[in-house]
């Protein structure tokens, strides 16, 4: 566990990317409270024109097929609650891809399997024998996940009544290679060979495999594709389809969509794609060519025997640059010349820093290569553990008993541990003589430990935590939970490390409430235990110790830019935007504060340049550049022959913590896909389906011919304001560095900014101040997508819903999908320009109603 990347096992969705978030942040918010008399679909954050189930958890879209006048949307669904688990196929149908009707559960989990993602086809020639030619069956091809073994195989179910009832095939599974990472079959009819074609993911290998069958039951392997493009996380939910380039039906290219988590363009979940050719057996991606980073002035290339004027602390970086791979390390690649900074001296157990002399910021960008561990810098951490916070100690686990705390199960025993338990790695960081340690009989046991009820009468609850990283929203958590009125309102987990460190919950909004602390170990796998000590109600927030492996830019002693590795010994390009700090004094600092797995950092070739270098992830092609577009797949057998795609509007970095209730999870607006030549490259583009127009209420506003200089102002008053809007805007850039629209604006600076940056030629969405953002440190931020002007104009199409924005730039080559959770009263729309002027040629704002109306 300590020397390999920890990713979520299969479709277990353990939200690995927020390990440090969960361990170091107490910003989880409670789901939005729902009054008992609140009508369904009217809750605070309930999307009005994006599909959501009435209750419970939903993620990946599945089984997208058109049959007898209905578009079918199946989806991953938990019939028992609003967290991931008991995965089954939910079901909804539509006649226009906009108005949806939820139907009863289609395929339910059982004791033998969970029903993971897959696809559906109409077997018109009855090749399976499941129906007749007069009444062809609808056949679902899904991944059967065996909870007892973790094995994933491909199975069939069929329906002869338009998907209302289903029968599992007695011969399941139809493909079983004995793998735990073999999932998400997308099946289609391939006319040239009159056979079925399956595209399925070998997730951990970053490969897509193709199979062929005449009857959906007996399959022959054809070929594999990958690894290629972004490979920082598992590959999932592949989709393969042909499209005409620029509408020319004589020029057909194939698109292979491969969803990846984590390691998407925003760091978490994402939908990348490849354009190429498919010959009936093999997919070949177009050659992207070689990449040459921008030229510039090299300020440190680690080619000398020593570090020069750069200074070190600790022992991790040695006495000079490394010549490549160090003892006990995997092969290091991607560095330039003969030397690099490598903190693996002495292995992962060593720590230290490597810091440049101060310099005056003169360039526009600092480009460099980085590799090693994925342990990002976290604001609020400290180099060394501070004093124990003072306050009301709820439990110090001294004296050989749990006091008034109650236990279930076997994991916690009958009394606190006195330190490291048999067969356990050394436990460190606790106080006194006792701690909670659920490793009593190894990772195989489970249980809970719950405090007596207490009154929240101070600002923070501080405690020490270590052990496994299995968040409360995962199926088998190892977590510390704060429970108020029977609901978990805060949660923290370990970091797959036996060293306990401080965590802190801000509980000021819960003042006066009665609460309990519950320590949960429901996990029997690796790191299936949790360590806790010294729980204290305090007016002081405890600060965790930094565990980062990062390259930082420091201005006035503060980290203003940071990059980390991707748990890889291969270095890749990264870039810091220096423009906001022009003329200021700065330092570069390479930090290794981590002693666990991948607890080292690699860096090389620091270069001042006029343009940013682009990483492999940035050079990959993305169907969407937002945080909330994943598991994107397309419909088969559409009546108009067009390719429509939909994605899960969420991200595994925080998907289980978004503050919605009694449901969790939404689907994006369905999109019409096309291939267009943009700036000399064939790109996948998307636009909202035309039937969105059927949701327009008739309330609309047009604004034209407005010039704005370094200001923000309301877009013609309340006629433009709203919570569900369809906005089309065209700008002529002037001298402004940034311009665009702000939506869902409200009091205290709350806003979601949708802008264009002329200095970088990027579309961006800034949701830093969009309302409720504190439930995960991975949530607030700015998402960017490359977008050049077209005929000197910037065109935007913006769909605003009660809890999301979808922004389509240009011809749909730049798309950003982001969830937002604003106050219901935040309904303003503004136009803005920063540091110069812009002309708003025209803005058309239309109000949208609910798809359920």
* Residues involved in catalysis: 60
For 72, 110, 126, 139, the CA distances from 169, given in Å and listed in that order, are: 21, 15, 14, 10
| For the chain, counts of helices (H) and of strands (E) | 2, 55
Measured CA to CA, the distance from residue 457 to residue 537 in angstroms comes to 8
Distance CA 437, CA 633 (A): 43
Task: Give strand pairing partners of 793.
Answer: 790
* DSSP-derived pairing of the beta strands 828-848 and 138-145: unpaired
Q: Are strands 152-159 and 175-179 parallel, antiparallel or unpaired?
A: antiparallel
Q: Look at the chain and count its residues.
A: 853
Q: How many CA atoms lie within 13 A of 138 on its CB side?
A: 23
CA neighbor of 780 nearest in space, from 111, 27, 125 = 27
* 549-574 burial: b if 16+ Cβ within 10 Å, else e: bbbbbbbeeebbbbbbbbbbbbbbbb
What would the DSSP string read from start to end of 181-203? SEEEEEEEEEGGGTEEEEEEEEG
CA distance 637 to 513: 55
**Three-class secondary structure of residue 494 per DSSP:** coil
Between CA 225 and CA 623 the distance in angstroms is 19
Structural contact between residues 535 and 463, judged by C-beta atoms closer than 8 angstroms? yes
Taking the C-alpha atoms of residue 265 and residue 616, their distance in angstroms, rounded to an integer, is 10
Instruction: Give SS3 for 693.
Output: helix
Say if CB 139 and CB 157 are below 8 A apart: yes
* 816/160 Cα distance (integer angstroms): 39
- Chain centre distance of CA 73: 22
* DSSP structure string for 372-434: E--B---TT-BSS--PPPPSEEEE---TTS-TT-EEEESTT-SS-B-SPPTTPPPPB---TT-
CA dihedral 812, 814, 819, 821 (to 10 degrees): -100
State how far the Cα of 517 lies from the Cα of 488, in Å rounded to an integer. Answer: 9
Give the burial string for 341-375 (b: 16+ CB within 10 Å, else e). bbbbbbbbebbbbbbbeeeebebbbbbbbbbbbbb
Q: Angle CA(524)–CA(485)–CA(412) in degrees, nearest 5?
A: 30
Q: What Å distances lie between residue 604 and 322, 335, 373, 543, 607, CA to CA?
A: 10, 6, 15, 31, 9
> Nearest to residue 76, comparing CAs of 686, 660, 656?
656
Parallel, antiparallel or unpaired: strands 392-395 and 530-538: antiparallel
Query: Of 579, 544, 550, 573, whose CA–CA distance to 562 is shortest?
Result: 550
Q: Hey, is 12 helix, strand or coil?
A: helix
State the Cα–Cα distance between residues 708 and 741, nearest whole angstrom: 12
Question: Which secondary structure element, helix H or strand E, spans residue 702, and what is its range?
Answer: strand 696-714
Q: Any idea what DSSP says for residue 318? A: T
């Amino acid at each position: 566990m300590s020397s390999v990347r920890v990713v979520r096992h299969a479709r277990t969705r353990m939200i690995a990317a927020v390990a440090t978030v969960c361990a170091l942040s107490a910003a989880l918010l409670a789901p939005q409270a729902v009054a008992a008399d609140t009508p369904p679909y009217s809750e605070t954050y309930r999307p009005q024109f994006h599909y959501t189930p009435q209750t419970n958890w939903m993620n990946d879209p599945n089984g997208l097929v058109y049959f007898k006048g209905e578009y079918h949307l199946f989806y991953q669904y938990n019939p028992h609650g609003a967290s991931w688990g008991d995965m089954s196929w939910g079901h909804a149908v539509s006649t226009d891809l906009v108005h949806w009707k939820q139907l009863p559960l289609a395929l339910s989990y059982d004791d033998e399997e969970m029903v993971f993602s897959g696809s559906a086809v109409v077997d018109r020639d009855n090749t399976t024998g499941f129906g007749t030619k007069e009444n062809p069956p609808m056949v679902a091809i899904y991944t059967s996940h065996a909870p007892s073994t973790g094995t994933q195989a491909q199975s069939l179910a069929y329906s002869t009544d338009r998907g209302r009832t289903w029968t599992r095939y007695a011969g399941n599974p139809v493909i079983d290679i004995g793998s735990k990472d073999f999932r998400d079959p997308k099946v289609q009819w391939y006319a040239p060979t009159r056979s079925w074609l399956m595209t399925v993911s070998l997730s951990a290998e970053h490969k897509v495999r193709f199979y062929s069958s005449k009857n959906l039951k007996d399959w022959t392997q054809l070929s594999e594709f990958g690894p290629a493009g972004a490979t920082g996380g598992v590959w999932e939910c592949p989709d393969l389809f042909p499209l005409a380039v620029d509408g020319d039906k004589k020029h057909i290219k194939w698109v292979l969509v491969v969803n990846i988590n984590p390691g998407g363009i925003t760091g978490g979940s994402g939908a990348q794609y490849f354009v190429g050719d498919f010959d009936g057996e093999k997919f070949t991606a177009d050659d992207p060519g070689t990449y040459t980073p921008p030229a510039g002035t090299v300020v440190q290339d680690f080619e000398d025997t020593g570090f020069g004027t750069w200074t070190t602390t600790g022992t991790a970086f040695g006495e000079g640059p490394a010549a490549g791979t160090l003892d006990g390390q995997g092969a290091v690649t991607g560095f330039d010349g003969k030397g690099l900074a490598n903190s693996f001296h002495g292995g992962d157990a060593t720590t230290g820093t490597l810091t440049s002399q101060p310099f005056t910021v003169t360039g526009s960008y600092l480009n460099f290569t980085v590799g090693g561990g994925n342990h990002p810098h976290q604001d609020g951490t400290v180099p060394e553990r501070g004093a124990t916070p003072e306050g009301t100690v709820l439990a110090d686990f001294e004296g050989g008993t749990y006091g008034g705390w109650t236990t279930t199960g076997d994991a916690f025993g009958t009394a606190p541990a006195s330190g490291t338990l048999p067969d356990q790695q050394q436990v460190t960081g606790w106080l006194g003589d006792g701690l909670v340690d659920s490793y009593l009989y190894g990772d195989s046991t489970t249980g809970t430990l719950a405090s007596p009820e207490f009154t929240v009468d101070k600002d923070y609850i501080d405690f020490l935590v270590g052990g496994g990283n299995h968040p409360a929203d995962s199926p088998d958590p190892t977590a510390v939970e704060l429970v108020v009125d029977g609901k978990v309102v805060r949660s923290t987990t370990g970091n797959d490390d036996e060293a306990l460190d401080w965590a802190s919950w801000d509980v000021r909004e819960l003042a006066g409430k009665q609460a309990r602390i519950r320590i949960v170990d429901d996990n029997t796998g690796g790191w299936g235990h949790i360590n806790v000590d010294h729980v204290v109600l305090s007016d002081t927030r405890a600060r965790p110790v930094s565990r980062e492996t990062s390259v930082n830019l420091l201005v006035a002693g503060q980290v203003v830019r940071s990059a980390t590795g991707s748990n890889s010994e291969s270095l890749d390009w990264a870039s810091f935007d220096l423009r906001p700090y022009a003329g200021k004094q700065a330092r570069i600092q390479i930090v290794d504060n981590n002693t666990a797995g991948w607890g080292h950092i690699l860096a090389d070739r620091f270069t001042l340049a006029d343009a940013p270098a682009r990483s492999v992830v940035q050079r990959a092609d993305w169907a969407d550049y937002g945080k909330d577009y994943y598991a994107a797949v397309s419909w088969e057998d559409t009546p108009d022959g067009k390719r429509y795609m939909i994605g899960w509007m969420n991200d595994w970095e925080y998907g289980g913590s978004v503050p919605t209730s009694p449901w969790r999870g939404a689907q994006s607006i369905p999109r019409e896909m096309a291939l267009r030549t943009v700036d000399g490259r064939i790109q996948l583009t998307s636009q909202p389906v035309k039937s969105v127009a059927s949701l327009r209420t008739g309330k609309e506003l047009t604004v034209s011919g407005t010039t704005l200089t370094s200001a923000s102002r309301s877009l013609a008053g309340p006629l433009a304001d709203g919570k569900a809007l369809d906005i089309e805007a065209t700008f002529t850039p002037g001298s402004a560095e940034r311009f665009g629209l702000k939506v869902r604006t409200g009091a205290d600076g709350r806003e979601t900014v949708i802008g264009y940056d002329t200095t970088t030629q990027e579309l961006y969405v800034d949701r830093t101040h969009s309302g409720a953002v504190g439930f995960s440190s991975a949530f607030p931020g700015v998402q960017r997508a490359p977008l050049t002007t077209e005929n000197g104009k910037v065109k935007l199409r913006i769909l605003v819903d009660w809890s999301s924005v979808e922004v389509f730039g240009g011809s749909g080559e730049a798309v950003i999908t982001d969830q937002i959770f604003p106050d219901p009263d935040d309904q303003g729309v503004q136009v803005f320009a920063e540091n110069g002027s812009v002309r708003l040629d025209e803005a058309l704002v239309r109000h949208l109603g609910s798809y359920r109306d």
